Amino acid sequence: MPSFLRGALALLLLVLNTLVWSLPVFAGALLKLALPFPAVRRRVDPVLNAFANGWVACNSGWMHLAQPTRWDVEGLAGLRAGAWYLVNCNHQSWVDIFVLQHVLRGRIPLLKFFLKQQLIYVPVIGLAWWALDFPFMKRHGKDKLRKRPELRSEDHAAALRACRKFSLVPTSVMNFAEGTRFTPRKREAQASPYRHLLKPRAGALALTLQAMGGQFRCMLDATIVYPGGVPTFWDFLCGRVPRVVVRVRQVPIPAEFTARDYAADPQFRRAFGRWLTALWEDKDREVEALLQGAGSRA
């Protein structure tokens, strides 16, 4: 099948799948709005998450049907679908989200991640994210925050509200610590010390740990590599991603990092920054090794 037709078919299946599974999600969201009680949420949220996992499963189905991609995945042993996880990953493309959903589906709870406020306006899927309690963050720029530092509290409060909801049922809280997709140009502009990564941003991770760190079984540190080159989403739909490499490792969360205030505790900020920097140095070396290994097999 020509790649253009393959992409059109995959896009059609994705749209139909999204429409079908969004309808029951919207119905459950209306029930939560009408009966905003924790007891109701504990019963409704698992059902909504099951609908969302149905969407992910159907996406995996059309990916198998329409794409010749070879999956090289390690590190999934010992995961539990009934536990809470903090998930961290490098970020290169919108494809990353589909990759993580595909390889982690059924092994851990539904991935929920922090989104830019503007994404709530994406047709259908934006409302579905809202119904599933994905937190929307305004993410003000540095210049604006310098002029109006009080704006920091908006995202802080939104994250804490979301984490309180996540604590009611097992959830995987997803975070891309880089905050944006990696490109060589961004790396150069940022003067990043890493070859394959941008500098990590500690705030969202630390805030999540402050809100519910004691509930996480561990942090899943995921690394995604595309040996054939970082794909666009259209490349992915067209089946032009010959191989995806994913490595997942379970990283213990230091007990002293839970329930501490990153914004108000300078000692914690320094300790957390050192911990995250060490993780990022390891990840950068791992990306390099995986790319070199893929090249030697080419």
For the stretch 69-119, pLDDT in tens is 999 999 999 999 999 999 999 999 999 999 999 999 999 999 998 887 788
pLDDT at 223 over 60: yes
Range of lowest pLDDT (51-60, 117-126, 221-230): 117-126
**How confident is the model over 195-205, as pLDDT tens digits?**
999 999 888 88
Mean pLDDT of all residues in 264-269: 87
CATH of the domain at 186: 3.40.1130
Q: Measured between alpha carbons, how far is residue 15 from residues 62, 66, 125, 204, 261 in Å?
A: 11, 15, 10, 31, 41
In a domain, 8, yes or no: no
Q: How many domains does the chain have?
A: 1
* Residue 24 forms part of a structural domain: no
What residue numbers bound the domain in which 80 lies?
69-297
Q: Is pLDDT at 298 greater than 60 in this prediction?
A: no
Mean pLDDT of the chain: 88
pLDDT confidence of residue 59: 95
Please, where are the H alpha helices in the chain?
A: 3-34, 38-66, 95-104, 125-131, 142-147, 152-166, 184-190, 203-212, 233-237, 266-297
Q: How confident is the model at residue 122 (pLDDT cuts 50, 70, 90)?
A: confident
Q: d(Cα 27, Cα 48) in Å, to the nearest integer?
A: 9
At residue 183, does pLDDT exceed 60? yes
How far is it, in rounded angstroms, from Cα 36 to Cα 168?
13
For the segment 118-137, the average pLDDT, to the nearest whole number, is 82
Q: Is residue 131 part of a domain?
A: yes
More confident residue, 245 or 292: 245
Q: Model confidence at 231, in pLDDT bands (50, 70, 90)? A: very high
3-state secondary structure of 297: helix
> Does residue 275 carry a pLDDT above 90?
yes
Q: Is residue 7 part of a domain?
A: no
What is residue 276's predicted lDDT score, i.e. its pLDDT? 95
pLDDT value of residue 32: 83
State how far the Cα of 32 lies from the Cα of 38, in Å rounded to an integer: 9
- Tell whether the model's pLDDT for residue 123 goes beyond 90: no
pLDDT value at residue 288: 96
Of 214 and 50, the structure prediction assigns the larger pLDDT to: 50
The answer to whether residue 18 sits within a structural domain is no
Residue 230 lies in a domain: yes
pLDDT over 70 (residue 297)? no
Query: Is 203 inside a domain boundary?
Result: yes
Please tell me the predicted confidence (pLDDT) of residue 20: 94
Say if 46 falls within a structural domain: no
